[in-house]
Amino acid sequence: MKRINLETSSYLPLIWVTPYSQGILDLVSEYKKSTFYIQEDSIKEALSYFNIKRNWFRDPAVRLRLIAGKLKDEEMKLLSFPSSAFQILLGGKIWPSGMYLNFVRHTAFLYADLIDNIDFSMDKRKGLFELAEKIDGRFNHLKKTMEMNSNSSHFEFSFENILSYWGRFYLSPNIPKKLKVFIWKDPEPFTKGPAKIRDLYHYESMIKSDIEFDTMVVANTGFADHIKNNRKNLPVEIVCASSKQNDIYSS
């Protein structure tokens, strides 16, 4: 029985769909007789998506409430839906930086499917407030789930609840139903540094742990090269999940 270690990049695509999700799920099926683990800090890193100041340029729920509360009836009548809802999801700061654009795209992916269940035809203002409430609910649920995962000895993914995010078309109809994952504690705390330093920290921590890992599964094509550039050998193999984009968009 193999001992498989997940990492931040392979944890998040099991919560919300990305082009890598199917590749990771294929590996889950391939290693179905194995035991899966994840380092506590990998979940802490994922939580950084939710450790934010919830103001108008970071949180679409704040933007939705401000627009719904300030627009007059005659102004609200000019809005068409659902396109206006998507514009508000994407409409943060003007002249944004690249990192900020990536964050706004992330929030749009994360909440876009919530618009499907909002009826704007009767009361547009009420619809905006309702969407804001749904966004709050998802934000709080995901943050609480990750915090609980981080503080537990183990947790279970239920893939029927995976969020659409980049789009369900990246998943095949037949995917595993569940996956049990065990948490292992950080041998020493991560202090500060860019993502690449944290990747190296996760690999070195895995080697130092008492668990004799066989494989580390990631969803980052540059992960293995970065580790190889910083150490002479790889005592634990790194397997990068494939991207479904290659299948969908290749001619």
Task: Extract the tokens encoding 176.
Answer: 């595993």
- Residue 196: per-residue pLDDT: 79
Could you give the angle at the alpha carbon of 167 between the alpha carbons of 42 and 183, nearest 5°?
20
- What is the model's pLDDT at position 176? 95
Strand partners, 50: none
Burial status of residue 111 (CB atoms within 10 A of its CB: 0-12, 13-18, 19 or more): buried
Ranges under pLDDT 70 in the chain: 251
For 70, the 3-state DSSP assignment is helix
Q: Which of 135, 128, 131, 134 is nearest to 70 (CA)?
A: 128
69-114 tens-digit pLDDT: 999 999 999 999 999 999 999 988 887 788 888 899 999 999 999 9
Side chain identity at residue 221, one-letter code: T
> Beta partners for 39?
184
Rounded CA separation 204/64 (Å): 43
Phi, psi of 6 (to 5 degrees): -85, 170
CATH topology of domain 3-49+147-249: Rossmann fold (3.40.50)
Distance CA(14)–CA(29), nearest Å, equals 13
> 142 φ, ψ to 5°?
-65, -45
User: What gap in Å lies between CA 150 and CA 211, rounded to an integer?
Assistant: 18
Q: Which of the 8 DSSP states describes residue 31?
A: T
Contact 2, 166 (CB under 8 A): no
195 bridge partner residues: none
Question: Distance between the two ends of the chain, CA-based, in angstroms?
Answer: 39
Contact partners, residue 28, CB within 8 Å, separation at least 6: 36, 176, 179
Delimit the domains of the chain by residue range.
3-49+147-249, 60-136
Distance CA 127, CA 118 (A): 6
| The pLDDT value given to residue 1 | 86
Which two three-digit tokens encode residue 98?
């690249």
